[in-house]
Amino acid sequence: MAFNFCCSWNPSLFLLLIIVAFFNSSQSILAGNFDQDFAVTWGDGRAKTLNNGKLLTLSLDKASGSGVQSKNEYLFGRIDMQLKLVPGNSAGTVTTYYLSSPGSTRDEIDFEFLGNLSGDPYIVHTNVYAQGKGDKEQQFYAWFDPTADFHTYSIVWNPRSILFYVDGTPIRVYKNLEARGIPYPKNQPMKVYASLWDAEDWATRGGLVKTDWSQSPFTASLRDFKADACVWSSGKSSCGSNSTKPWFSQELDATSQARLKWVQQNYMIYNYCTDAKRFPQGFPPECIANNSTA
């Protein structure tokens, strides 16, 4: 029996086929499930998943904070996470979301959110470690209230560069300058981590403002984890020797470069590449190579 589809148009069936095709093409980057994608690593019950794994809350009290890590390791990718930070007087607290490999020679890509007194802005702290050496801090004030709603914090990590985004706006670029003898994270697969902990000895105004424990427990919320990334398993990458993913060769176009400049001119409050007191013998080599915007 032959079927002639040309004369039996079915809009509902056509729409269904489009939906199925979209799902099949994007299922690798659908919002994750914290129950499936993460393991609680510490906190004695202070890290909780809600809404069938769609929401993760991390809590901190005087006894302990809490943290989780992804079950998968990744070697290059685009990682997105939505966070809503600790509201009110969050001085002394640090909420983290970062990538890291294990060991003393670890690679690491950091987002850290330093709490503050009520009414003062959060500090978005970024850092990059390569082969165990960090000290590449840049800090920014958020241009919105990160405690009022969820905002998306993204890390694009590819062989060319590391890009930090907030709600799609680039705030920092760290380039691969291995050709100039500067280490770059590219060989060690990393897991995704998130935590909430007490750092009152340094987090707020260099430790001058201490944590007000009468406000505890402090709670941060996370949702919509997405990893469009190369999963590392049994010594191999799911991307093979290369990747056709857009993020694999992603760099900033002219519009994104203008947005990056806007953030750095208006909201950057610390750049290690301009801290002459810290580097009296001269700035690190990547600062010069990147025109002081590594």
Instruction: Determine the Cα–Cα distance for residues 128 and 110; give it in Å rounded to an integer.
Output: 6
Instruction: Determine the Cα–Cα distance for residues 40 and 47; give it in Å rounded to an integer.
Output: 7
> Which residues are known to be catalytic?
108, 112
User: In 3D, which of 250, 235, 78 has the Cα closest to residue 152?
Assistant: 78
Contact 184, 178 (CB under 8 A): yes
Instruction: Determine the Cα–Cα distance for residues 125 and 122; give it in Å rounded to an integer.
Output: 9
SS3 196: strand
Contact 70, 37 (CB under 8 A): yes
Instruction: Determine the Cα–Cα distance for residues 91 and 114; give it in Å rounded to an integer.
Output: 8
User: In 3D, which of 115, 108, 100, 69 has the Cα closest to residue 219?
Assistant: 115
User: In 3D, which of 176, 127, 171, 174 has the Cα closest to residue 152?
Assistant: 171
Instruction: Determine the Cα–Cα distance for residues 190 and 226; give it in Å rounded to an integer.
Output: 15
- Burial (CB count <10 Å: 0-12, 13-18, 19+), residue 279: middle
